[in-house]
Amino acid sequence: MDNLVDQDTQSQSENTTEARDQNEATRKVFIKTYGCQMNVYDSDRMNDALSNDGYVKTETPDDADLVILNTCHIREKAAEKVYSELGRIRKLKEERAKDGKQMMVSVAGCVAQAEGAEISRRAPIVDLVVGPQSYHRLPELLTRASNGSKVVETEFDIQDKFKHLATPSKEAVRKRGVTAFVTVQEGCDKFCTFCVVPYTRGAEVSRKVEQIVMETERLAAAGVREVTLLGQNVNAWHGEGPDGREWGLGELLFRLAKIDGIERLRYTTSHPRDMEDSLIAAHRDLDILMPYLHLPVQSGSDAILKAMNRKHTRDDYFRLIDRIREARDDIALSGDFIVGFPGETDQDHKDTLDLIKRVTYGSAFSFKYSPRPGTPGATLEDQIDEQVKSERLAELQVLLSTQQKDFNASLIGKTIDVLFEKEGRREGQLAGRSPWLQPVHVNAPLDLYGEIGSVEIVAASANSLEGRLV
C-alpha cells in the first residue's frame, strides 16, 4: 500500500458485550497497530471478534491476558522492530507467569505473513502467528493456541473473510469517532518491483457492493459522518453489484453517497493505472466526495518507472492529472515518492523534482528506497549509496514541504467546511478536518462534535490550520 500512517497507533477496541459468565475473570486484550490505515481497520475488526468472545480492551500490555502486534512490512527493518518489541513483551509475560497469570502473544499482519513460523522460532513466547487473511478466525485460532500448541496461520484463505467479520455494536462504533474506515479491496496484482504487498496480502480481491453498503449503513446509524474506503489499490476495486454486474469504484461512490447520515466520502490508496472515467466523473459530480486524492507516482523518471514495473510514464501521469483537475478544479493531490531506487541517476532524480514542480502537491510521503527480501528490486544491480539517497531525499522533501506550506497558506482568509472530530488541545477548542484532510483547530462549543461547521481560516502552519467559527 502506497500511503502510510507514519506512526504506530494503539488499538481502539471496545467492550461491546457483557461477560458471558459474571463469575469468570475478565480477559483483557492489548493490540498495537503499525503502519497503514488498513491495519487500523484490521485491528478494529480483530477487536470486534474478541469483544464477542469476552475480551475487553486495555491501554497497556502490562495487565493484558492477550497481546497482539498487528504489523506492517513496508518500513525498513520492519521485522526487526517486531522482534525488539517481542523482547519487551517477553519480560512482561515472564513477570505474569511468576504471579500465576497467563499472557498469550500473537503476531498478526504483514510481517506475520512474510515471516511465518520463523517468528515462533526466533521468539518462542509467541503463541499465534496469523496473517491478514485469517483474522476473522482469531477466537478459534486462540483456542487452539491456548492448549500449548504453536499456531501459524498464514495461508491465503479461499473463503470470503468479510462474510465472517464480527459486527461491532453501535456503542463501539460511537466510541471510535465520527469517521471510519471501510476496506473494500485487498491485495495487489501490480507487482511493483519495490513492493511486498502482493506477497503479504495476496491477489486483488474486491468485496461485493451489498457488503460495503451494509457496513456503511451500520456506521451511519451509529453516528459516523465520514467514511474512507480502503484498498491496497482501492481504485482497482470491481465488486459484484446487486444487479449481478461488475461495478467500478466510481459507481460504488455514487451508491454510497445516497446513504442517510454519510456526509463525506474519501478513498485511498489509488494507482494511476486504475483511474477510470466513472471515477473521475464522481469527483466532478459528487459534492460528498472530498476534493483530495492520494495518487502515488513514486518517480518522475520514465527509466525508473519502467524499472519499478509501474507500467505508466510521466506523461501518462501528467495527462491524468489534467483530466482530474478539469473535472474538479479545487482538488488537492497527495503522492508517494521513493528516492534512490537501484540505477537512479542524478538526471532521474531531477526528473522527479521536475514532476513535483509541475504537478504541485498539497501533501506527500517520501522515502529512501530500502530493499525488501523476496522482491525483484532487492536483486537489482547498481544499488544506490546511502549517502546519495539521504541527500536526494532531503532535497525532495524541502520541495514537498514548501508546496505543502504554500497550499495551507493559500487557505487563509477562506471559509471552508470542517467536520469536528474531537476535542482540541486547548480548553474550549474542537479539532476537525478540512475537505483536504488538514487538521483544523477552532474555538467552538463541544456540542458541535460530529457536525460540519463553516470555519474561516485565520492561520496556517506546515501541518495544520487554525480557524474561527463563522
pLDDT digits (tens, 9 = 90+) for 335-388: 999 999 999 999 999 999 999 999 999 999 999 999 888 899 999 999 999 999
Does residue 402 belong to any structural domain of this protein? no
Average pLDDT, integer, range 267-292: 97
pLDDT for 24 equals: 44
Residues 190 and 120 in one domain: no
In angstroms, the CA 440 to CA 433 distance is 6
Reference 55, options 85, 90, 87, 31; nearest CA is: 31
Question: What residues are designated binding site?
Answer: 36, 72, 110, 188, 192, 195
- Does some domain include residue 354? no
Pick the closest to residue 72 from 115, 105, 104, 29 (CA basis). Answer: 115
Count of helix runs (H) and strand runs (E) in the chain: 14, 20
Domain region containing 431: 415-469
Structure-block grid coordinates of residue 297:
507516482
Cβ distance 43 to 19 under 8 Å? Answer: no
pTM of the complete model: 0.83
Mean pLDDT for 292-310 is 98
Tell me how far apart the alpha carbons of residues 258 and 18 are, in angstroms, rounded to a whole number: 35
User: 189 with 275, same domain?
Assistant: yes
Q: Are 204 and 236 in contact (CB under 8 A)?
A: yes
Q: Is residue 266 part of a domain?
A: yes
CATH number at 133 reads: 3.40.50.12160
Residue 178 in domain: yes
What's the CATH code of the domain at 440?
2.40.50
Q: Quick check: 376 and 43 in contact, CB under 8 A?
A: no
Say if residue 206 is in the same domain as residue 141. no
Phi, psi angle pair for 393, to nearest 5°: -65, -40
Read off the pLDDT of residues 422-453 as tens digits, 9 standing for 90 and up.
Answer: 999 889 999 999 999 999 999 999 999 999 99
Rounded average pLDDT over 289-310 = 98
Are residue 175 and residue 104 in the same domain, yes or no? no
Q: Going by C-beta distance under 8 Å and a sequence separation of 6 or more, which residues neighbour residue 8?
A: 32, 33, 34
Of 118-132, 167-181, 302-316, give the range with the top mean pLDDT. Answer: 302-316
Mean pLDDT of 201-229: 95
Contact by Cβ (8 Å): 387, 417: no
Cβ atoms 239, 206 nearer than 8 A:
yes
Q: Is the pLDDT of residue 75 over 70?
A: no
Examine the fold and report which residue of 310, 335, 360 is the final residue of a domain before the chain moves on: 335
Q: What's the pLDDT at 226?
A: 98
Do 301 and 423 share a domain, yes or no?
A: no
In a domain, 342, yes or no: no
Are 170 and 223 members of one domain?
A: yes
Q: Tell me, yes or no, whether 113 and 189 share the same domain.
A: no
Closest to 229 in 3D by CA, of 205, 253, 210:
253
Count Cα atoms within 13 angstroms, Cβ side, for 461: 6
What is the average pLDDT score of the chain? 90
**pLDDT tens per residue, range 134-193:** 888 888 899 999 888 898 988 766 456 676 677 788 888 898 899 999 999 988 999 999
Same domain, 175 and 253: yes
Say how many C-beta atoms besides its own lie within 10 A of residue 55's C-beta.
26
Instruction: Decide if pLDDT at 20 tops 70.
Output: no
The runs of H, that is alpha helices, within 333-385 are 346-359
pLDDT of residue 164: 66
pLDDT over 60 (residue 3):
no
Task: Point out the least confidently predicted range of 73-77, 200-204, 440-444.
Answer: 73-77
Least Cα distance to 466 among 434, 428, 427 occurs for 434
Binding residues for [4Fe-4S] cluster: 36, 72, 110, 188, 192, 195
1 band by pLDDT with thresholds 50, 70 and 90: very low
For the cut 80, the answer to whether the pLDDT of residue 281 exceeds it is yes
Are 169 and 277 part of one and the same domain? yes
CATH number at 285 reads 3.80.30.20
* Last residue within a domain, chosen from 304, 335, 366: 335
- Domain limit, last residue, from 335, 369, 394: 335
- Count how many domains the chain has: 3
Q: Return the pLDDT at 157.
A: 62
Q: What is the mean pLDDT of residues 209-232?
A: 96
Per the model's pLDDT, the better-predicted residue between 201 and 314 turns out to be 314
Query: CA 30 to CA 64: how far, in whole Å?
Result: 6
4 pLDDT higher than 50:
no
Whether residue 13 is found in the same domain as residue 141? yes
Higher pLDDT, 186 or 397: 397
**Mean pLDDT, range 45-58, rounded to an integer:** 88
Mean pLDDT, to the nearest integer, of 81-96? 91
Structural domain includes residue 18: yes
User: Domain for residue 21, yes or no?
Assistant: yes
* Radius of gyration (C-alpha) of the chain in whole angstroms: 23
* Residues 188, 330 share a domain: yes
Q: For residue 197, what pLDDT is reported?
A: 87
168 and 257, same domain (yes or no): yes
296 in a structural domain: yes
